[in-house]
């Protein structure tokens, strides 16, 4: 992809707040990033850091209340999704942006056949006839590596294994040839050998179809294997973004550095003791005025209490120490 080309997706200053009985939860705080055509953007961060809420906010999938998108722009192919009317938005969700979520059993409807669930978006958004949609569904199932596809159209979700259900979810997400695929922990619930199958499949589909992928995971190994660029989230903010090689070779933000040291390796020298990130994740009851990582940071110094070193330009470049 050419450097100059406009990104397919451009997110600026996104803020999402949940209004709960216990007060406000500032789940996403001024998040900005872009996605180039045909690239895989990995998103990592600990549980509760705002990964899912960010992606659900993009396409306005969060129920409001309690969710409230307070600010931001989400420009997809030149149009701001946050300003779009319901009709256009439905079309975007069905045809321009596909999703795969973590647990395939909850995402597929148990009472409908696999076939009807794949055909639904084709008929609704592409105006296909039943026969055309069925033919395309077979094609999609074959594409995601489900053998005997024609027969399997009549199967119900419970007749498929976890790995197969996840493939079906991918087939549905791909049905209308989306420009962007958002995959939220799509392989976390699967075993490593099945995970490996799905990862290979996604890489191949990207090559073949040229779509851009946002891949959320807590597994840095998956990120290393599939991503071109990586966003690291902490406390509802993007604390670092970098090309994948750069991130692993030369992590800048103290959280990223600590994170990379807590995980054991499968080869090379065995670490005698694992590094630990002491302390607890931040409680996000207000917009962060100071650095959200300061309580757990080994490089903490005075300014960290006073300013919120939001990402500026390329990567983490706040008042913290250099590499």
Q: Which residues bind other proteins (CB under 8 A)?
A: 46-47, 161, 163-164, 191-197, 199-200, 218-225, 244-245, 248-249, 258-260, 262-267, 270-271, 273-277, 280
3-class state of residue 150 by DSSP: helix
291 within 8 A of 308, measured Cβ to Cβ: yes
Distance between CA atoms of 228 and 101, rounded to whole angstroms?
21
Q: What is the radius of gyration, based on Cα positions, of the chain? A: 21
Region from 18-26, 152-160, 291-299, 308-316 binding ligand ATP, contact rule CB under 6 A: 18-26
197 binds, among Mg ion, ligand ATP, other proteins, none (CB under 5 to 8 A by kind): other proteins
25 binds, among other proteins, Mg ion, ligand ATP, none (CB under 5 to 8 A by kind): ligand ATP
Q: How far apart are the first and last CA of the chain?
A: 30
Copy the structure tokens of residue 272.
């005698």
Contacts for 277 with CB less than 8 Å, ≥ 6 apart: 255, 258, 259, 262, 296
241 within 8 A of 45, measured Cβ to Cβ: no
Q: Does 50 bind ligand ATP (CB under 6 A)?
A: yes
Instruction: Please list every residue from 220 through 239 that binds ligand ATP, using CB under 6 A.
Output: none
Minimum distance from residue 274 beta carbon to other proteins (Å): 4
Q: Which long-range contacts (CB under 8 A, 24 or more apart) does 122-130 make?
A: 122/175, 122/176, 124/94, 125/91, 125/94, 125/95, 125/176, 126/95, 126/176
User: Which position among 8, 11, 14, 27 is part of the footprint of ligand ATP (CB under 6 A)?
Assistant: 27
Region from 49-57, 117-125, 129-137, 220-228 binding ligand ATP, contact rule CB under 6 A: 49-57
Q: Does 129 bind ligand ATP (CB under 6 A)?
A: no
199 within 8 A of 225, measured Cβ to Cβ: yes
Minimum distance from residue 27 beta carbon to Mg ion (Å): 11
Distance between CA atoms of 75 and 132, rounded to whole angstroms?
32
Q: Does 164 bind ligand ATP (CB under 6 A)?
A: no
Distance between CA atoms of 274 and 88, rounded to whole angstroms?
50
Q: Which is nearer to ligand ATP, 36 or 217 (CB)?
A: 217
262 binds, among ligand ATP, other proteins, Mg ion, none (CB under 5 to 8 A by kind): other proteins
284 binds, among Mg ion, ligand ATP, other proteins, none (CB under 5 to 8 A by kind): ligand ATP
Q: Does 45 bind ligand ATP (CB under 6 A)?
A: yes
How many CA within 13 A on the CB side of residue 282?
A: 28
20 binds, among Mg ion, ligand ATP, other proteins, none (CB under 5 to 8 A by kind): ligand ATP
264 binds, among Mg ion, other proteins, ligand ATP, none (CB under 5 to 8 A by kind): other proteins
3-class state of residue 215 by DSSP: strand
Contacts for 296 with CB less than 8 Å, ≥ 6 apart: 255, 258, 277, 278, 279, 280
Q: Does 49 bind ligand ATP (CB under 6 A)?
A: yes
Q: Which is nearer to other proteins, 92 or 183 (CB)?
A: 183
User: Which position among 16, 36, 52, 195 is part of the footprint of Mg ion (CB under 5 A)?
Assistant: 52
The contact set with Mg ion (CB under 5 A) reads: 52
The contact set with ligand ATP (CB under 6 A) reads: 18, 20, 25, 27, 45, 47-53, 66, 218, 284
């Amino acid at each position: 992809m050419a450097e100059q080309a406009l990104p397919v997706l451009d997110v600026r200053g996104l803020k999402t707040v949940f209004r709960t009985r216990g007060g406000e939860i500032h789940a996403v705080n001024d998040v900005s990033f872009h996605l180039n055509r045909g690239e895989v953007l990995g998103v990592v961060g600990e549980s509760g850091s705002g990964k899912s809420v960010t992606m659900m906010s993009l396409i306005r999938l969060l129920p409001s209340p309690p969710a409230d998108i307070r600010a931001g722009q989400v420009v997809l192919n030149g149009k701001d999704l946050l300003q779009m009317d319901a009709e256009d938005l439905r079309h975007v969700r069905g045809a321009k942006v596909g999703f795969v979520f973590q647990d395939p059993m909850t995402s597929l409807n148990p009472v409908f056949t696999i076939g009807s669930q794949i055909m639904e978006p084709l008929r609704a958004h592409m105006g296909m006839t039943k026969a055309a949609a069925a033919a395309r569904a077979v094609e999609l199932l074959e594409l995601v590596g489900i053998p005997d596809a024609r027969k399997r159209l009549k199967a119900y979700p419970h007749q498929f294994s976890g790995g197969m259900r996840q493939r079906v979810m991918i087939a549905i997400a791909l049905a209308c040839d989306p420009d962007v695929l958002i995959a939220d922990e799509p392989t976390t619930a699967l075993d490593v050998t099945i995970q490996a199958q799905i990862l290979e499949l996604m890489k191949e589909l990207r090559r073949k179809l040229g779509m851009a992928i946002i891949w959320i995971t807590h597994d840095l190994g998956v990120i290393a294997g599939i991503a071109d660029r990586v966003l690291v989230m902490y406390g509802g903010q993007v604390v670092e973004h970098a090309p994948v090689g750069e991130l692993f070779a030369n992590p800048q933000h103290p959280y990223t550095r600590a994170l990379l040291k807590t995980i054991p390796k499968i080869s090379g020298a065995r670490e005698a003791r694992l590094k630990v990130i002491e302390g607890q994740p931040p409680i996000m009851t207000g917009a962060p005025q100071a650095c959200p990582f300061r309580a757990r940071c080994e490089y903490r110094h005075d300014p960290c209490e006073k300013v919120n070193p939001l990402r500026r330009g390329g990567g983490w470049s706040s008042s913290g120490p250099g590499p």
